[in-house]
Structure 1
Amino acid sequence: MIFSVIFRRVAVGVGLACGGLLSCQPRQSLTRATTEARPPAIANPVLPGDFPDPSATKIGDSYWASATSSNWGPVFPLLKSRDLASWQLVGYVFPDALPEWADYYFWAPEISQEGGKTYVYYAAHQKGGNLAIGVASADRPEGPYRDHGPLVGQPDGSIDPFPVRDEKGRLYLLWKEDGNSVQQPTPIWAQPMNEARTALTGEKTELFRNTAPWEGNLVEGVGVVRRAGYFYAFYAANGCCGASCTYAIGVARARRLLGPWEKCPRNPLLSTNAAWSCPGHGTALERNGHWYLLHHAYQTGSFENVGRQGVLSEFAWNADGWPAFLNQPPISPGTASPGRIQPVALADEFDQSTLALTWQWPVQHRPRLAVRNGQLYLTASPDAGGAALGRSISSANYTATTTLLNPAALPTGASAGLVAIGNPDNALAFTASNATLQLQERRVGKTRLLAEIPLPVAAAHAVQLRLQVRAGSSYGFAWSTDEGHTWANPLPHDGTLSGAHLPPWDQGVRVGLLAQGPATATVAFERFELLSE
């Protein structure tokens, strides 16, 4: 089944971070594009949910994008847009099998088009080794993609690839040496690459590294555009992730690709404001005479619970030839700084023959499943906390509901229900077995039973389960046997549980379905709804 989701959201745009709105350059010093008719204010995030390190390119009359998957499959989403603001999920680079050489940490895909082929360069953890950079290609941007294996993998790790041709047309690969992982500097390297994109050639050259105080212990996520005789490298620096992040965006430029490079004296050009925190790792794009950076940032109020969302920030070129980001005013005047999120309900009726594209799973624990006759059949697993399916969330406040069929018929040792999952080692789950309803916490790989009540007689054939989250990490659970008209709390009081331990350092939480127990057990679910508020 082809399942499409259009991403739209109403929120405050990202503004300048150089000491005040539009303080980097006065309005009259910006290029003519800023004085022409302004495009509509951008409704950010344009990619709501966990979409770190977004990259994009124009192919024909459409834009194509991808983003970090990290430890969630399918690997590397493929998104399509006509206007950079509304994106449709249409597939994945690796929808089924993983590349043979890699096992996890699928980071920072860079999508590009040349010579009638689409290329996706990416970083991943090499089996038995460290982080390395690979490349896959396809005859069409939607795939199928063929993986060509790793291009470079340094002892300290190699990440954040970006392909670019130099001033003479020679093809290079740029990347970051992951020195910060071993308390070392983080040089940005450039090395020639063959036209088949299967191997690096020649010698590598360092372009620049972290030297400015604001850059902290790293520079990374380089994306290059060429304009007016310069190569411009937009890059991220400092701490990328979590509530204590310090990420920001700077730019450097050079006449020749191999340098010398100069960093903008007003760096960082984009950093935390009232609505968005820790912007970083993006791609610069031009549309209708206006320039944008598609990058990620945390939305104030949700942070690591939702994850790093895709944000579109406009910039213009000043009289000195440097980019300057423009302030996007709130869409609704007077809106509070985090933005006003309109309730959005996404329901899956399981009425197609294949799983909807929005579902994900832990990349090393792909579950066995089937979809037919309006039901999802999920095969249980005794490992890694159970077989899990999850969906990315887009708000700090949301409600998830589903119906579990025939819990009384489950074999002994099997249970199934709703789950909020950070990774296989950290989750909160509300499940039913053939005898009880159970509330479980999984923390650092160990499962603990928090509450248990007998399975109500009325729930033998079907029970509705509900998970409600407020303020990102306050979790409440309930069950119903009358199609959701009345709800009961499995806890002996009306309190909530903290899920602050759920988000990994680089990912947001997923919410979805879980089946635990012997692999001979299969459970059936009807309808899953996720309401973001």
Structure 2
Amino acid sequence: MRILQLVLLFLALASAGHAQPRPAMYFSDSSRLGRPVAKNPCVVRFHNQYLLYYSIPENQTTGWGIGIAASTDLIHWQKVGELTPAASYEQKGLCAPGALVRGDTVHLFYQTYGNGPKDALCHAVSTDGVHFRRDASNPIFRPTGAWTVGRAIDAEVVAFKDQYWLYYATRDPSYKVQLQGAATAPLTTSFGQSAWQQQGQGPILVPSLPWEKNCVEGASCVRRGKYLYLFYAGAYNNEPQQIGVARSRDGLRWQRLATQPLLPNGPAGSWNSSESGHPAIFEDPVSGRTYLFYQGNNDQGRTWYLSRVEVQWKRGRPYLVP
């Protein structure tokens, strides 16, 4: 009996010794379920502060929504608001925010939730970053063609090559494979439904590497020089989902920069051992530094936290700063 106790003590100490420390940013939201769940981050700089938009889960009274948190240092965040289902087209829920700042306005792009193949992208605007007015033409975009089931989620809008590019995830007609598509609008656009023109005769990025399995989603873009860099999530949640990167000179044709993930899931004992997913790349206009925000968990999705890692560049390729 004494030997067994010693063995168990040794195993416990060994396990504790291999536990990984939490990152400096370790944010979540327990308001909906009583346990921490925050997904799909997006960060902007607006009115002398940083704003974090993220998905919050449905509960017994309301569908998925979007949480809003503020920060002055990109590490410590305080929740300041929510965007909850209101219009008929988002009655079952809304989530997966993408945002950009143009002048004195935050433009928020998000998806409807719970409608399967009929989920679509929507647009709203705010002059304070917290209270939003919905676009009268919502939903603003769904793809068409034999290559897609017609669904659109995970909106990312970025200015490149004298127009706005909208990147989105969709499914193939079998509803098994997640793909990336693109649409464009003029720089003078108000981002309404009539502005968007679908690009290409099919997907711009499909899962092709072993770690991507049947899914590429969650596109987030940054422009550097002549290239547009697209950070994306490969594989569905907790398979594990991991983060890769591709780049393009024209916004339509993409080249992966590696065969392995840029940001893999963490080792056993770490906070993100189940996945590192749904990237959000952010160039801080104050410091000039670049950060990759992402979601993770270590319990197969019972909880979800948001964190960040710094990105630096060498010879046109991003790398992570430990």
Question: What range describes the TM-score normalised by the shorter chain of this pair?
Answer: 0.7 to 0.9
Cα deviation digits, residues 304-351 of structure 1 (max 9, x gap): 23x221011122112x32111122xxxxxxxxxxxxxxxxxxxxxxxx
Residue in 1 aligned with 2:51? 64
Residue in 2 aligned with 1:136? 124
- Superposition deviation, residue 173 in structure 1: 1.4
Residue in 1 aligned with 2:209? 212
Q: Please report the TM-score for the alignment, with normalisation by the length of structure 2.
A: 0.78
Residue in 2 aligned with 1:193? 185
Relative distance call for 1:129 and 1:250 in structure 2 (3 A) is: closer
Contact 1:251/1:267, CA 8 A, preserved across alignment: no
**What is the root-mean-square deviation in Å for CA atoms of aligned residues?**
2.4
Counterparts of 2:116 and 2:228, CA distance in 1: 36
Residue in 2 aligned with 1:12? 21
Q: 1:45 aligns with which of 7, 11, 26?
A: 26
**What SS does the aligned partner of 1:104 have?**
coil
- Superposition deviation, residue 65 in structure 1: 1.2
Give the number of aligned pairs. Answer: 277
Give matches, 1:224-303, under 5 Å. Answer: 224-241=221-238, 245-258=239-252, 260-274=253-267, 275=270, 276-277=272-273, 278-287=275-284, 288-298=287-297, 300=298, 302-303=299-300
Letter in structure 1 aligned against 2:276: P
- Superposition deviation, residue 119 in structure 1: 1.3
Letter in structure 1 aligned against 2:73: D
Cα deviation digits, residues 469-511 of structure 1 (max 9, x gap): xxxxxxxxxxxxxxxxxxxxxxxxxxxxxxxxxxxxxxxxxxx
Residue in 2 aligned with 1:309? 305
Give matches, 1:443-454, under 5 Å. Answer: none
Unaligned runs of 5+ in 1: 1-10, 14-41, 328-533
Contact 2:95/2:113, CA 8 A, preserved across alignment: no
Relative distance call for 1:265 and 1:128 in structure 2 (3 A) is: closer
**What SS does the aligned partner of 2:91 have?**
strand
Give matches, 1:52-451, under 5 Å. Answer: 52-72=39-59, 73=62, 75-94=65-84, 98-125=86-113, 130-148=118-136, 149-154=138-143, 155-168=149-162, 170-179=163-172, 182-184=175-177, 186-193=178-185, 195-199=189-193, 200-205=195-200, 206-241=203-238, 245-258=239-252, 260-274=253-267, 275=270, 276-277=272-273, 278-287=275-284, 288-298=287-297, 300=298, 302-305=299-302, 307-318=303-314, 320-327=315-322
Unaligned runs of 5+ in 2: 1-19, 30-35, 144-148
Cα deviation digits, residues 347-391 of structure 1 (max 9, x gap): xxxxxxxxxxxxxxxxxxxxxxxxxxxxxxxxxxxxxxxxxxxxx
Relative distance call for 1:64 and 1:237 in structure 2 (3 A) is: same
Contact 1:230/1:254, CA 8 A, preserved across alignment: yes
Counterparts of 1:60 and 1:147, CA distance in 2: 22
Letter in structure 2 aligned against 1:233: L
* Higher-Rg member (1/2): 1
Contact 2:65/2:95, CA 8 A, preserved across alignment: no
Counterparts of 1:118 and 1:51, CA distance in 2: 21
Letter in structure 2 aligned against 1:82: T
**What SS does the aligned partner of 1:68 have?**
strand
Q: Please report the TM-score for the alignment, with normalisation by the length of structure 1.
A: 0.49
- Superposition deviation, residue 171 in structure 1: 1.7
Contact 2:28/2:304, CA 8 A, preserved across alignment: no
Counterparts of 2:185 and 2:114, CA distance in 1: 20
Letter in structure 1 aligned against 2:27: V
Counterparts of 1:81 and 1:212, CA distance in 2: 37
* Structure 1 stretches of at least 4 aligned residues deviating more than 6 Å after TM superposition: 126-129
**What SS does the aligned partner of 1:98 have?**
coil
Counterparts of 1:59 and 1:193, CA distance in 2: 23
Using the TM superposition, name which of 260-269 and 50-59 deviates more. 260-269
